Amino acid sequence: AARWLASRRAQRRIGVAVRRFTTSDATEDEYGRMDDAGQTHYFDEFRLESGKVIKNAQIRYKTFGTLNEAADNCIVICHALTGNASVDEWWAPLLGPKKLFDTDKYFVFCANILGSCYGSSGPNSINPDTNERYGMAFPSVSMRDSVRSHMEVVSALGVKNIKFTLGGSLGGMQALEWGLIGGPSLVSSVVAIACGARHTAWQIAISEVQRACIMRDPTWNGGHGKALNGLGLARQLAMISYRSHSAYDSKFGRGLSKEAAKEHGDTDTCISSGVVPHFNVEGYLQYQDQKFLSRFDAASYVRCTQIMDTHDVGRDRGGIEKALSQLTQPTLVIGFDGDILYPLEEQRELAGLIPNSKLCEISSAAGHDAFLLEYEAISEACGSFLDDVGLA
């Protein structure tokens, strides 16, 4: 079941149907086909918060639907850590006529973040000062830098108002910054899913271990090498944090991989025979490791996790409480009870500090990746919220 709680003022509950995940759903891949498809917006230069400048910067983006004459029917969808602009791939069930991201009604915009490897400027880009790949010489980018770059693209497209901005995980962090930086004059409402007000020590620690896996790979070479072994290990660690204890236990238990089971029978027989078992869950993580190597880059992974670590809505705004009090637009905060990476206490804090917010708590075995997989519950929760605030 899903629980709805209004922040601070009225406390009420509204029933929301939730699709319960099967054990196989809870460990399916969260993304579809991943590439750098889209249109490109070019900057002669883009100045970062730090004062550093990215010359010949570019942002890869996709749009769906048509901008109306009033230029006020835009919605902005923000992707997560290793996502791209192709919301039609990783949130396909939500995009299209009569769906949450209704392309008959809305002009849908999604852009790849700075520092990534799906078309926007990042470590794989060519440094115009050296005519070589940036690698780790690519400047450190903040969450606000990336959001500001996307805002400039939206402005260049002629958008005057955004009905809502929505994202999960790193995308939710971006959505909060859209609301704060853009203000009510640009952004009418915000939907932040599976994120918090700032990256905590818990999340920074998990990111740091993943970066250490990459940087200790002997082929890392300061970001100029592929570091495939390190990148694969980082992905394995990430996949553990993205799921839940119950999802792993229900799906894999202590079963052997298909190859081991064929050769040795069951787990007990394998161990009793003095053979080190190859568990099914090991095979799953190794598969995710190898699959990830075909679609992401080590230096981009390091930079993107560092971007996440810059997330703190209270920085230079007088702290979290003061900053969130300034987010006056209607805001929906969604969290999942099985999320160990961004636990419900973080969404409860957000909703408690944003004055015009509602909190929706969804029960799911899918862990953190429920923000990608629980699309039916998300669609219903968002639809109800948008109806309530008159933006549907």
Q: d(Cα 329, Cα 171) in Å, to the nearest integer? A: 18
Integer CA distances (angstroms), 196 to 103, 162, 203, 353, 361, in order: 29, 22, 10, 11, 14
Identify the burial level of 344 via C-beta atoms within 10 angstroms of its C-beta, where 0-12 means exposed, 13-18 middle and 19 or more buried: middle
Per the annotation, the verdict on 339 as an active-site residue is yes
Per the annotation, the verdict on 169 as an active-site residue is yes
Tokens for 78? Answer: 């923000």
Residue tagged 């958008």 (tokens): 159
* C-alpha 325 chain-centroid distance: 24
Q: d(Cα 78, Cα 66) in Å, to the nearest integer? A: 19
Among residues 169, 207, 300, 357, which one is catalytic? 169
How many alpha carbons lie under 13 Å from residue 148 in its C-beta half-sphere?
12
Per the annotation, the verdict on 357 as an active-site residue is no
Q: d(Cα 376, Cα 378) in Å, to the nearest integer? A: 5
How many alpha carbons lie under 13 Å from residue 188 in its C-beta half-sphere?
17
Q: d(Cα 28, Cα 21) in Å, to the nearest integer? A: 11
Strand 357-362, strand 39-42: pairing: unpaired
How is 170-213 classified by DSSP, letter by letter? HHHHHHHHHHHHHHHHHB--EEEES--SB--HHHHHHHHHHHHH
Among residues 289, 368, 369, 384, which one is catalytic? 368
Q: d(Cα 297, Cα 290) in Å, to the nearest integer? A: 13
Residue tagged 């944003």 (tokens): 354
Among residues 41, 339, 364, 384, which one is catalytic? 339
Handedness of CA 333, 380, 372, 254 (dihedral sign): positive
Sheet containing 162-168, strands listed edge to edge, beginning at the edge strand earlier in sequence? 2-6, 357-362, 331-336, 190-193, 162-168, 74-78, 107-111, 58-64, 39-42
Catalytic site positions: 169, 339, 368
